[in-house]
Amino acid sequence: MGKKVCIIYNTSKKDAIKFYEVSKEFFESCGVEVLSEIEGSNFVVVIGGDGTLLQASKDIARQNKFAIAVNMGSLGFLTEIRKDEALQVYKDVLDGDYELEERHMLEVEVKGEIYTGLNELVMTKGGVLQKLVRIKASGEHYINTYRADGLIVATPTGSTGYSLSAGGPIIRSNLDVFLITPIAPHNLSTRPIIIDGKEEITLRLDETGNSAYITIDGANSIEVTENDLIKIRYSKKRLKLVVPKSRNYYSILREKLKWGDLIC
């Protein structure tokens, strides 16, 4: 039976549309059937920025496929494959000469529903007129009650996203940990903390009369009150990404964050 690939691309970017056509032509010339659905494919190609991969990540992980993520965005921590090396990576994958890296996926339980995400859960105050929000966080034991604009619970993959902007550390993507980062905390001694990924984290709004909102990877905005318990754990599903041969985790950080470059 011949190989099949699903190609997902950012339909709003001209470069992504153009490279989709290049990729489609390449695979068809190799006798690979190009599909528009993940189901039935052997692997997935994602062409776009990190947002494109975030949107596709849940379905890719749920169906236990692996992805080649080609960067057409401006930064691309997740979409690590450069356009100029993508065709060679395609060839390597078809030849069986490739390595995969697995990324943890969040599983969030709230209001009787289960949501999944790759980067982070964010819990924030109910509106601009609400000065602060009080969030009680627990793991194996009680951790802290945060008074802040909000709280981020991130995976190692998500440590280079919103959490990084809020002052959190960068965590190597293969570590089994959670990162908790407060957003503009009232107490300046309240700092980000890294805890064991085997723990289940619970969050609860620690005040009456106010509400807060949670989002998972920037989507699924859900209003919560003091009566709602938010449970966060790691899913058994993982996102599997092809690793570029030419670079490693640290070289990608140096490239994306311009480490060692003269900024001024």
Residues 244-257 pLDDT 10s: 887 777 877 887 77
The domain locations on the chain are 4-99+243-257, 105-237
Give residue 75's pLDDT. 67
Task: State pLDDT tens for residues 221-246.
Answer: 999 999 999 999 999 999 999 998 87
Catalytic, out of 50, 92, 149, 176: 50
Whole-number Å distance between alpha carbons of 43 and 41: 6
Q: For residue 104, what pLDDT is reported?
A: 95
**Record: fold of 4-99+243-257:** Rossmann fold (3.40.50)
Task: Give the model's pLDDT for residue 10.
Answer: 94
| Residue 50 bears catalytic tag | yes
Class of domain 105-237: mainly beta
Give the per-residue pLDDT at 92.
96
* Residue 153: predicted pLDDT: 98
- pLDDT, one tens digit per residue, over 118-139 is 999 999 987 666 788 999 999 9
pLDDT for 1 equals: 58
Q: How much is the pLDDT for 262?
A: 64
Residue pair 102/238 in contact by the 8 Å Cβ criterion: yes
Cβ–Cβ < 8 Å for 105, 235: yes
| Mean pLDDT split into 10-residue runs, the chain, 264 residues | 91 94 97 95 95 94 96 77 93 96 96 96 82 93 96 96 94 94 91 96 91 92 95 96 84 78 63
Q: Choose among 61, 103, 57: nearest CA to 197.
A: 103
Q: What is the pTM of this model?
A: 0.90
CB neighbours (10 Å) of residue 90? 23
Displacement of CA 125 from its chain's centroid (Å): 22
Helix ranges restricted to H, 63-106: 83-94
Q: How far apart are CA 12 and CA 174, in angstroms?
A: 32
Q: What is the pLDDT of residue 117?
A: 95
148 vs 134: CA distance, rounded Å: 7
**The one-letter amino acid at 244:** P
What is the distance between the alpha carbons of residues 264 and 157, in angstroms, rounded to a whole number? Answer: 29
Res 187: pLDDT: 87
Quick one: residue 27, left, alpha or beta (phi over 0 = left, psi -120 to 50 = alpha)?
Answer: alpha
Is-contact 69 43, C-beta < 8 A?
no
Q: What is the pLDDT of residue 215?
A: 96
Q: What 3-state class would DSSP assign to 3? A: coil
Question: In this structure, are residues 228 and 110 in contact, taking their beta carbons and an 8 Å threshold?
Answer: yes
Distances (CA, A) of 129 to 65, 132, 183, 211: 44, 9, 16, 12
The total of other beta-carbon atoms located within 10 Å of residue 121's CB is 25
Check if the beta carbon of residue 251 is closer than 8 Å to that of residue 156: no
Structure tokens, 172: 């190597």
Residues 174, 168 contacting (CB under 8 angstroms): no
